[in-house]
Structure 1
């Protein structure tokens, strides 16, 4: 089996501020090359050609990138490099944190493992929350989440319940009731739903530090998913992973990466309980490196900046820079974490369900299973004094 190296850069360090309108998305860019490959030229001479010591996309701008685009294309093709991008909508993090708080069946008896651990069902419940939260809701909940204030959370949920009752589509009675039941428990026991942020279980590594709430850290799971995907697609394993050391969250990124790289959640079937598997795809620990000492990181910096200009800012890239952009795109995968992607993912899964034939026998069997599950859920709520 072949081995690969990965070089990672970020689009900027934003901390735990999710609502900076100038930077609604957080990006990472990764270049994947075969283990031990040599960089084919002196990158310093290329940088000097455009009046710089190093290649940094934001400092060069499109005009100067255009001047060296042909050389960058030659480098990428010689290295046979592939690129991977993650794009995280920062305000979406708040909505998904609320969804996790509400629907984690370990903490909320109004929800079952069937609802939280089956990917399609979990995404559907998360989508209900996402579409109901406006910008104020997201900001309010995010502040509560960071502070771990259970009384403020109770007041927030009372307001949010009123919103659900007024605005949630009455055509979807089952979804509406599930959300309202989950909220009812939160109003009754708000501290239990904030416990993942406020209480450290004995013997468990403390992830309550607010540093772990930054988009930089949230993107790690998406980044690892992408690395696993590329590794499996090309039947390779990672033996070196270098992250640009400029990130102020470096040590937290390293820690999270070290713990999460060993596992992979199999969600190949969206309609079955997801399975957590051991993984040996990522053999290396994440290292921090300087772009000054790594031509690979300098290429990633330029490539990532160009991608954000095209996708987020909609810039029309012309000339040789356009050829470079096309070269990058032809060798890229992009992984999204956003409201639009959640909606698109659900539509795809729903169409997949509707396209499959189902017999009357299977239909009746499914109805009976759902009735049994709902009876169990209702009993669980009665035992926790949510129903009389």
Structure 2
């Protein structure tokens, strides 16, 4: 199979650009070489539009509508699929904070269940209510600060401010756990390993690379579903993130034959089916597949953001609403996904309840000892 990958909404480590709150990735997948088989059709459309390449942002509704029927016919002829992935950038700062500060391996003040079971999402969403934009910005500044002393001072300040707001949470147990965890981090910032140490490490935690993880998992899922192998993975060429994308794809390929585990109730970490073929980088100036990704991604974005879109163009994405994949990393997506899981959770048996209470008591004793000692 052939895959073509492009992104939109790129702001790198600047997560708080109000004009681009979402990072999008679009992935076009096909059994055939789209670069080869779509080129003639797109060349004719370029000539009609009197442009060198079909860039949706430049053509807009007015420029694309006259081409819509031909683009739809090309889509049907090639029978490709289009998958969409997006990351809510301001939410990413809060999720990163939770992942580091509430990591059970770094912070003994958090319970084992608070990090290694779906209860982590309950705590994450409650913690998120304590953030405002300014505190989220400070937390992210600390995360990408390469000077550890500066980062630790920022982290301590963020923890102190969040802890002052814990009283707004409605239940006593959440207030206790979140307050204790923040206080321990506040007193032991160097043990949290919060900040990135080098410029290249900063790239690895940007929404661009977090979103690209979803892209690679989506490609692996497509390959497993179709029982196929990757013939090519073409990624849009841009200087800042291509090296990090390449490193990530190689890392995932190396894990493709290894078993992975996760906490009980958490989604399995599945690297099976990860393509081992090296990803390639190209410009839409010489890739018909990337040119088509740009067009479809623009239509998807306008639809999801409620912006003006001609009905003729909506027809381009309509089939993919049912046969494509979509995934989102955001606090709202986490809430929607896990609310259903907790609602469908069966009541525990008396034996399970007794055993769980015993384990919780044991872990609570450990946690309190760690707080008193640290």
Q: TM-score, normalised by structure 2?
A: 0.89
2:237 match: 245
2:288 maps to which of 278, 292, 295 = 295
Does the 8 A contact of 2:125 with 2:335 survive in 1? Answer: yes
- SS of the equivalent of 1:108 reads coil
1:135 match: 133
- SS of the equivalent of 1:7 reads strand
Shift of 1:135: 1.1
1:386 match: 372
For residues 260-279 of structure 1, the aligned pairs below 5 Å read: 260-263=252-255, 271-272=264-265, 275-279=268-272
More displaced 10-residue stretch of structure 1: 376-385 or 29-38: 376-385
Distance of 2:200 and 2:113 partners within structure 1: 27
Q: Check if 1:34 corresponds to 2:26.
A: no
CA shift digits 1:177-223 (9 cap, x unpaired) = 22222112112211111x15346xxxxxx786222232211212222
Distance 1:334 1:277, change over 3 A: closer
RMSD (Å) for aligned C-alpha atoms: 2.7
Distance of 1:268 and 1:186 partners within structure 2: 27
Does the 8 A contact of 1:239 with 1:283 survive in 2? Answer: no
- SS of the equivalent of 1:349 reads helix
Q: Check if 1:371 corresponds to 2:357.
A: yes
1:222 maps to which of 206, 210, 214 = 214
Q: Check if 1:311 corresponds to 2:308.
A: no
Distance of 1:71 and 1:117 partners within structure 2: 51
1:94 match: 93
Does the 8 A contact of 1:111 with 1:377 survive in 2? Answer: no
Distance of 1:231 and 1:169 partners within structure 2: 45
Shift of 1:238: 2.5
1:283 match: 276
CA shift digits 1:315-342 (9 cap, x unpaired) = 2432x32322324434422110112111
Aligned residues: 367
2:335 match: 343
Distance 1:250 1:9, change over 3 A: same
Does the 8 A contact of 1:303 with 1:328 survive in 2? Answer: no
Q: Check if 1:156 corresponds to 2:158.
A: yes
Shift of 1:274: 5.2
- SS of the equivalent of 2:3 reads strand
Distance 1:129 1:334, change over 3 A: same
1:203 match: none
More displaced 10-residue stretch of structure 1: 241-250 or 340-349: 241-250
More displaced 10-residue stretch of structure 1: 42-51 or 82-91: 42-51
- SS of the equivalent of 1:231 reads helix
Structure 2: where are the runs of 5+ without partners? none
Shift of 1:311: 0.8
Task: Judging by fraction of residues, say which structure has more strand.
Answer: 1
More displaced 10-residue stretch of structure 1: 88-97 or 261-270: 261-270
Distance of 1:278 and 1:112 partners within structure 2: 28
- SS of the equivalent of 1:209 reads helix
2:176 match: 177
Does the 8 A contact of 2:38 with 2:288 survive in 1? Answer: no
CA shift digits 1:289-324 (9 cap, x unpaired) = 121211111000110011111112432432x32322
CA shift digits 1:336-375 (9 cap, x unpaired) = 011211111121112221xx4x4xxx43233323322332
1:125 match: 123
Distance 1:45 1:267, change over 3 A: same
Distance 1:234 1:270, change over 3 A: farther
2:19 match: 22
Does the 8 A contact of 1:242 with 1:289 survive in 2? Answer: yes
